[in-house]
Homo-oligomer: A and B are copies of this chain.
Amino acid sequence: MKRATFTTPQEAEAAFYEAFEKADLDAMMAVWADDDEIVCVHPGGVRLAGMAQVRESWRQIFAAGQTLRFRLRHQQSLSGMTLVVHSVCEQISVAGETQERGPVISTNIYMRTENGWRMVVHHASPAPVSPDAEAKRAPKTLH
């Protein structure tokens, strides 16, 4: 595996999209922290956690053989010495309905402000399968 060192988040992000466009698995995984806590949610996909699941998902995506090009728009950046990221699977019940709704995966980010901890990002997306199955499933979409 390549052992690049990125001196800024911007460098890491550029390397992420370059690896994606080149379908270069080693370069892609060199962007990720070697940590059990990493989280990856592909569009319409389940939550993948840890190096093994994340690596396998990219292997499958790259094996599909499509060549993609990315153009990034509307970039926004948040940084702080005091950010905390929570990743949760929401099982939602609607009053009057007997069945639970399919799970929603949410990335919730909190920042310490002068008024205590406040939410700065809530990114939620529907997951296609029950969370019990999440560890076993690979993403169904290309990206």
Let me know if A38 and B120 touch, CB within 8 A.
yes
Q: Is the interface of A mostly helix, strand, loop or mixed?
A: strand
Q: How many copies does the complex hold?
A: 2
Residues of B within 8 A of A79 (CB): 83-85
The 8 Å CB contact of A95, one of B68, B91, B108, is B68
**A42 contacts B124, C-beta separation under 8 Å:** yes
Q: Say which size band chain A's interface belongs to.
A: 35 or more
Q: Are A76 and B37 in contact (CB under 8 A)?
A: yes
**Contact in complex: B123, A123 (CB < 8 Å):** yes
B-chain residues with CB within 8 Å of residue A82 when the two chains form the complex: 81
The CA of A115 and the CA of B41, in the complex, are separated in Å by: 24
Interface hits, A74-91 → B, CB 8 Å:
74-91
- Please state if A69 and B89 are interface contacts (CB–CB under 8 Å): no
> Does A25 sit within 8 A of B, measured CB to CB?
no
Minimum-distance CB pairs A-B, first 5: A125-B125, A67-B95, A33-B118, A5-B116, A9-B110
